[in-house]
Amino acid sequence: MIVTDLAIARGGVPVLEGLSFSLKAGKALILRGPNGIGKTTLLRTLAGLQPPLAGRIEGAEDQIAYASHSDGLKPTLTVVENLSFWASVFGTHDIQRALDAFALNELADRHAGNLSAGQKRRLGLARMLVTGRPIWMLDEPTVSLDRNAVQMFADAVRDHLGQGGSALIATHIDLGLDGEVLDVGPNKAKPKPIDDFDGGFL
């Protein structure tokens, strides 16, 4: 996946501009930057949920598995039901590997509504494994995970990279992954000069 000179906006306000990077198979790219800089917006743009202001994104959208802040779980379905739903949406049927990777076996028949925040997060991340897609886009994946679960997650990503996949991860902690760090801080969009305002308004 190659991104050239990308500019993105949130709610009509430009947040990042002049962003170029490439995501190689087998590598992770760690996205860093202060809160509100536009990391989530960048991930949503790359996942195809919103159009970019300018620039080019090469690499098919249907290669991407996206995980947002919320896990997309249904509280009245069990862990297995939630996971097998996403597996059949993505046309894969092996959920056992995902259950094993995130130690969800003993929770398999619990309703997702009865899980703790960290357990829900683990279930949400296990979803990535059943998508079977090569590019993972993860938005703050380690929120509410304990140290063990962070390790589980890092292992799952490492496994995924080992199989030739790639991952773009917005996170503030060090996961010890093989890959570069992309700091988007310097790409903050400059505010438009004030005399442009009338033109913009018209």
Partner 1 sequence: MIALLLRDLKLAFRAGGGFGLGLAFFLIVTVLVPFSVGPQSSLLSTIAPGVLWLGALLACLLSLDRLLALDWEDGSLDLLATAPLPLESVVTIKALAHWLTTGLPLVLAAPFLGVLLNLPAPGFSWLVISLLLGTPAMSVIGTFGAALTVGLKRGGLLLSLLVLPLYVPTLIFGAEVARRGAAGMETQTPLLMLAGITAATVALLPFASAAVLRINLR
- The answer to whether residue 167 forms part of the interface with partner 1 (CB under 8 A) is no
Q: State which residue, 112 or 145, has the beta carbon closest to partner 1.
A: 112
Q: How far apart are CA 33 and CA 64, in angstroms?
A: 22
Contacts of the segment 150-157: beta carbons below 8 A, 24+ positions apart:
150/175, 152/101, 152/102, 152/103, 152/122, 153/102, 153/122, 153/125, 155/101, 156/101, 156/102, 156/125, 156/128, 156/129, 157/28
Q: State which residue, 40 or 158, has the beta carbon closest to partner 1.
A: 40
- Walk across the sheet containing 13-22 and list its strands: 13-22, 2-10, 54-58
The interface with partner 1 within residues 111-130 (CB under 8 A) comprises: 127
Q: State which residue, 68 or 158, has the beta carbon closest to partner 1.
A: 68
What angle do the packed helices 79-89 and 117-131 form, to 10 degrees?
30
Min CB(127)–partner 1 separation in Å: 8
Q: State which residue, 67 or 167, has the beta carbon closest to partner 1.
A: 67
Q: How far is CA 24 from the centre of its chain?
A: 16
- Considering only 2, 25, 60, 89, the residue that binds partner 1 (CB under 8 A) is 89
Q: State which residue, 86 or 102, has the beta carbon closest to partner 1.
A: 86
The interface with partner 1 within residues 19-78 (CB under 8 A) comprises: 44, 47-51, 61-62, 64-74, 76-77
- Region of 21-29, 84-92, 175-183, 188-196 interacting with partner 1 (CB under 8 A): 84-92
Min CB(89)–partner 1 separation in Å: 5
Q: How many angstroms separate the Cα of 88 from the Cα of each of 81, 176, 177?
A: 11, 32, 30
Site for partner 1, rule CB under 8 A: 44, 47-51, 61-62, 64-74, 76-77, 81, 85-86, 88-91, 127
